[in-house]
Amino acid sequence: MRYTQYRGLAQVTNWVKLKFAAMNLKKLATQKWKECFIPWFFQFPPLNALETRFPQPGFSTDWGEH
């Protein structure tokens, strides 16, 4: 804040308050977005969940032709 377009303590103080208010709003918006997104993201298992949890018996070259 060495070089500022505002002159005087009152104007610089108001600018700093506005800057920190914007930073707090950004943090709040990010937190609210994560609260909404994270539970939705984890409610669906991966498409290959059964294959990764329970590997099927057989060789890797076995293509299901019996």
Number of folded domains that form the chain = 1
Share of the chain above pLDDT 90, in %: 30
For residue 38, is it within any domain? yes
| Tokens standing for residue 12 | 């610089």
Lowest mean pLDDT among 1-5, 14-18, 27-31: 1-5
Looking at the predicted structure, is the pLDDT value of residue 24 above 90?
Answer: yes
46 φ/ψ angles, rounded to the nearest 5 degrees: -65, 155
Distance CA 14, CA 8 (A): 10
The answer as to whether 37 is a domain residue is yes
pLDDT at 23: 94
Is residue 28 domain-resident? yes
Is 54 a residue whose pLDDT tops 60?
Answer: no
pTM: 0.49
Structural domain contains residue 21: yes
pLDDT over 80 (residue 44): no
Query: Could you tell me the residue range of the domain that residue 32 belongs to?
Result: 17-43
Alpha helices (H) in 1-66, listed in sequence order? 9-42, 49-53
